[in-house]
Amino acid sequence: MHRRRRHHRSLAVGAMLGTVALLAIAPFATAGAATGHRNAAHRPPSHVIPPQNPEGYDAYNSGTPDSSIRIFNKKGQLVVYGDSAVLYYAPQYLQGLPPGEQHSTAALYSLGQALYQANCQACHGPTANGVPFPHKAGQQPRPGSPGGYPDLQVVGPATIDFWIESGRMPATSTQDTQPVRRPARLDHLQAVAIETYLNTNWPVTPYVPVVNLQGADLADGATLFSLNCAACHTITGDGDALANDTFAPSMRDIPATQVAEALRTGPANMPIFTGNLTDQQLRDVVAYVVDKIQHPENPGGAGLGGLGPVGEGFVGLALGVGLLALIGFWIGDRS
């Protein structure tokens, strides 16, 4: 924030002059404080071989494996793709797993297999193909209708990661219209293990996105947010009700990776933003969410939950009119 040069004259004299001069322009006064917090820089894994076919790859980088960065392991399996804004990791290559153990793919696989059988298999089945949702002949099954369970062979690690790490899976009830975010019942390592187990048996993208928030364009992020997100999640990101007992959840306290996963995979009723958002745009909107939406500046003081005219009107009526009534009584009362 820019501070003007302090004058050596008495502050009080200047303040009195300022009082007179500035009473009229008070409504235009603003104050801004820009704060930034960024994730630690991330780097591609060093234990994999570099891209095998780097020449002339004209990729659009919109969350599909057709990306400008593609890294394969020694067996020729795609383990990382993306670009400088977002890298999509196969689960066993994710970094930041708790240290002290050897997290080889084989160890993760066997841990994931055990966890899958204990937590997921009852509904999604031993081969993870779920139970088809009831649907009319010749039509796609409708995800979310009771009696069916999603086919986990086709959804990809990003989807599995989102649902487990946001606490929605394993589910507490099979009758929920829309599961809600809860404290995760499986920790990060367990989630990665289950993803490794599923992705080893049925490899499919999208992988888990890791967003490099550095260099994000918050203005573009705000434009994309108001265009694509605000319709359902509201312009303050607090969420709102939708049709048929569904709702758009609040965006507070959601880690950047889960915001990116939700955009790329479209949980439940959310549209899938693959192809129409580049990785750079994804980074911009994720940065806007974790920076501005989750840390609103509220220059007027209390944000009142971002509920808009309802909350503000209630406070205005209860406090403002109440206070005015008390003052009115005091003025009108005969002493």
Return residues touching another protein (CB under 8 A).
Answer: 1-4, 11-12, 14-23, 26, 29-31, 33, 60, 62, 64, 138-140, 142-144, 223-224, 227-228, 231-232, 242-244, 246, 266, 268-276, 299-301, 330-331, 335
Strand, coil or helix: 295: coil
| Nearer residue to another protein within complex by CB, 31 or 40 | 31
Q: What is the closest distance, in whole angstroms, from the C-beta atom of residue 132 to another protein in the complex?
A: 14
User: Cis (ω within 30 of 0) for the bond into 206?
Assistant: yes
Residue whose CB is less far from another protein, 49 or 326: 326
C-beta closer to another protein: residue 66 or 101? 66
Q: How far apart are CA 124 and CA 151, in angstroms?
A: 7
Nearer to another protein, 142 or 295 (CB): 142
> What does the alpha-carbon distance between residue 80 and residue 73 come to, in Å, rounded to a whole number?
9
- Helices assigned H by DSSP within 23-156: 105-119, 121-124
As a whole number of angstroms, the distance between CA 285 and CA 230 comes to 12
Rounded least distance, CB 287 to another protein, Å: 17
Q: How far is the CB of 273 from another protein (least distance, A)?
A: 7
Give dist(CA 26, CA 24) in Å, integer. 6
> How near is the Cβ of 12 to another protein at its closest, in Å?
7
Is the backbone of residue 34 left (phi > 0), alpha (psi -120 to 50) or beta? beta
Closer residue to another protein, CB minimum distance, 21 or 40 = 21
Nearer to another protein, 232 or 304 (CB): 232
**Nearest-approach distance from CB 131 to another protein, in angstroms:** 16
Smallest gap from Cβ 114 to another protein, in A, equals: 31
CA gap 271, 72 in Å, rounded: 30
d(CA 166, CA 249): 12
Please, what is the minimum distance in Å from the beta carbon of residue 59 to another protein? 10
Sequence-distant (≥ 6) Cβ neighbours of residue 232 within 8 angstroms: 239, 240, 242, 248, 270
| Residue number with CB closer to another protein (2 or 8) | 2
CB burial of residue 330 (10 Å; 0-12, 13-18, 19+): exposed
